């Protein structure tokens, strides 16, 4: 998730083209909450870093906890755990007939496959 968020943050910088993507909503909410950052703070970190590794080093050096713990938490995130204030947008984007126990990352992977397989 972090590489995806870094790419989106870069697209939000001047001369970037963010398109339909966003951070600070949806799945990035628990990531930012775990990191203790706002969207603006995250974008600033990305802006000031030269590489993805530099972004990661800054995030983990600021006490965000172990990356493995964040990864494990996100791998278990289900539709039922989508924050209530984000649920309407989530359903609008990914559909309303999703089982509550469906893993959010499975939904994201299927969505990416659908979007990007049509472009290749």
The tens digit of pLDDT for each residue in 83-100 reads: 787 788 788 888 889 999
Cβ neighbours around 24 below 10 Å, total: 19
Better-scored residue on pLDDT, 12 or 30: 12
What's the average model confidence in pLDDT over 95-106? 91
Instruction: Give dist(CA 51, CA 100) in Å, integer.
Output: 36
Check pLDDT > 70 for residue 42: yes
What's the average model confidence in pLDDT over 58-67? 69
Residue 100, CA atoms < 13 Å, CB-side half-sphere: 4
Residue ranges of the domains in the chain? 1-75, 78-120
Which pLDDT value is given to residue 49? 94
In sequence order, the β-bridge partners of residue 103 are 78
Question: What is this structure's pTM?
Answer: 0.67
What's the average model confidence in pLDDT over 46-66? 82
Better-scored residue on pLDDT, 62 or 117: 117
Which pLDDT value is given to residue 113? 84
Instruction: Give dist(CA 79, CA 90) in Å, integer.
Output: 9
Check pLDDT > 80 for residue 117: no
Mean pLDDT (the chain) is 82
Give the residue carrying structure tokens 């007939």: 97
Go through the chain and tell me how many residues it has.
120
């Amino acid at each position: 998730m972090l590489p995806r968020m870094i790419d989106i943050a870069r697209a939000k910088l001047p001369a970037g083209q963010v398109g339909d993507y966003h951070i600070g909503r949806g799945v990035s909410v628990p990531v930012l909450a775990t990191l203790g950052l706002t969207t603006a703070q995250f974008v600033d970190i990305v802006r000031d870093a030269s590489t993805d590794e530099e972004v990661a080093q800054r995030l983990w050096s600021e006490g965000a906890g172990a990356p493995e713990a964040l990864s494990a938490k996100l791998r278990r995130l289900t539709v039922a755990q989508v924050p209530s204030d984000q649920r309407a947008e989530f359903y609008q984007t990914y559909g309303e007939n999703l089982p509550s126990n469906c893993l959010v990352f499975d939904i994201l992977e299927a969505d990416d496959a659908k979007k990007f397989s049509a472009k290749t």
